[in-house]
Amino acid sequence: MKTFTARAHGRVNLIGEHTDYNGGWVLPTTIPQFTEVTLTIEDSRSSADSSVTLTTSKERKGQYRLGHEQKTGTWIDYLQGATKLLRDSGLELGAFSAKIHSTVPEGSGLSSSAALEISFLKALREAFNLPLEDVELARIGQRIENEFVGARVGIMDQMACSLATAGEALFLDTQSLTYESITIPRMHCDLLVINSGLAHQNSGGDYNTRRAECEAACKELRIHSLRELSEKDLPQLDQLPETLKRRARHVLTENARVFRTVQALKEHDLSTVGRLFKESHASMRDDYAVSIPEIDQLVEITAKQKGVFGARLTGGGFGGSIVALTEKNLAQSISEDVCKAYREKTGHSATVLVAR
C-alpha cells in the first residue's frame, strides 16, 4: 500500500473581481485554511481495476470508475472532472481511494472549489508521476469547472491555489498568465477576512449570467475581450444598453484599480489601498450587481471602524466573504466588534478567517 498527500490553500482576492474571465488582472493571496487529499493505492489491485473511492471529512462518500465519469451535479464532479480530463489527455491513472480533509469554508468566496481541485490534482500528479507543471494544473482545474461542473469561472482561483505563497499577493495577468509576487507590507497592516455566513454557488445562474453579459458587451463593441479597453475608453461604453454599460464599466475600472493597488502596496501607501477597496466594493455593488444587502452591511460596519483602511466584498459575490485592511495589530479586536454589530443588524453569524 502506498499513500500520497497533497495540500492546496484557499485564497482571498485582494482586488480584481470578475476580471479574470475578461482577460484582466487580479491580486489574490493565500489564506491559512487548506484542503488536503490523501491518496491510497493498494498493491494488491490488478491493472484492470479502475475504481475510485472518495471520503470527505464531512462524512460525504462517493464512488465511480475511471473512464465512466458522469456529471452528478454534486461535489463528486470536481473530482470526476479531474480524472476524466487527465485520462482524455492521454495520461494513465489506476484505481485509488482518496480521503479529503478541508478547513476552507465552502461557497464563501475563498475558493474551496479550486483548493479541492488543485490538492486532488497534486496528489494524482505525485501518485501517478504525471508530467504536469503547476500552471498546467491550474488550467486543468479551470477546465474541470468550465467543462464538467458547469461553472464558467476564470483562472484566478486555480492559479492562486496552485502558485501563491503566504504573505505575498499574486499579481496575475489572466490572459498571458504572467505574474509577479507583491509583498503585503505586514509590518504596517493586518489583513482581515470575514465570512458573512451566507454561501453562494458558482455553478448557479448569476455568475454565468454576468459572464454572458460581458460577452454581449464585447459583441456590441466589436472586441474579443474587455481587456482590450482601459479607463480612457470609458466614453465608448455609452453606445451600450444601460445594463451592459454598467457591467463593462466595472471591469474597466476594476482593472485600473488592480494596477493602482499594486503600486500603492509597493509604496506602502495603505490609505490608497483602502480607498481602492472602497471603490471596488461600490463598483461591484452598483455596476456589477453581485453584492447582497447583508454583505453591504458587513462592509459598511467594517469600513467605519477606527483603524480600517478599507473593506470590500471578495470573490464572486452573491454571498461569501469580505476582505479588509487594518492598521497593524488591530484586526483581531476590530473583527470582534464587527461580528457583534453584524449579528445585531442582520441576525447572521459571521466568522473570522484571517485576522493578522
Binding site for Mg ion (CB under 5 A): 113, 202
CB of residue 37 to ligand ADP, shortest distance in Å = 9
Closest distance of CB 112 from ligand ADP, Å:
3
Cβ nearer to ligand ADP, comparing 157 with 218 = 157
H or E element, residue 197: none
| Residues in region 300-319 near ligand ADP by CB under 6 A | 315
206 interacts with ligand ADP by CB under 6 A: no
Which residue's CB is nearer to ligand ADP, number 58 or number 340? Answer: 58
159/303 with CB nearer Mg ion: 159
Compute how many other C-beta atoms are within 10 angstroms of the C-beta atom of residue 97: 16
Task: Select the residue interacting with ligand ADP from 12, 27, 100, 264 (CB under 6 A).
Answer: 100
Sort 51 into a burial class: Cβ within 10 Å, 0-12 / 13-18 / 19+.
middle
For position 109 contacting ligand ADP by CB under 6 A, the verdict is yes
- Choose among ligand ADP, Mg ion, none what residue 23 binds, the Cβ cut-off being 5 to 8 Å by kind: none
CB-hemisphere CA count at 13 Å for 250? 28
Identify whether 157 is a catalytic site residue. Answer: yes
Give min distance, CB of 90 to ligand ADP, in A: 27
Tell me the closest approach of the beta carbon of residue 278 to Mg ion, in angstroms.
25
75 binds ligand ADP per the rule CB under 6 A: yes
Provide the pairing of β-strand 51-56 with 96-102.
Answer: parallel
Is-contact 151 207, C-beta < 8 A? yes
Kindly state the smallest distance separating residue 222's Cβ from ligand ADP, in Å.
Answer: 32
Q: How many CB atoms lie within 10 A of CB 289?
A: 18
Q: Which of 20, 77, 157, 190 is catalytic?
A: 157
Q: Which three cell numbers stand for residue 153?
A: 469561472
Question: Among 35, 142, 291, 305, which residue sits at the site for ligand ADP (rule: CB under 6 A)?
Answer: 35
Alpha carbon distance 176, 107 (integer Å)? 28
Residue from the set 116, 191, 258, 264 that interacts with ligand ADP by CB under 6 A: 116
Amino acid letter, 280: S
Q: Cα(343)–Cα(298) distance, rounded to whole angstroms?
A: 10
Q: Which of 113, 261, 335, 346 binds ligand ADP (CB under 6 A)?
A: 113
7-29 in b/e form (b: 16+ CB < 10 A) is: bbbbbbbbbbbbbbbbbbbbbbb
**Cα separation of 11 and 159, whole Å?**
10
Give the C-alpha separation, 91 to 47, whole Å: 15
Grid cell locating 45: 489491485
Which residues between 242 and 271 bind ligand ADP (CB under 6 A)? none
Catalytic positions are 157
Binding site for ligand ADP (CB under 6 A): 35, 56, 75, 78, 100, 102, 106-113, 116, 201-202, 315
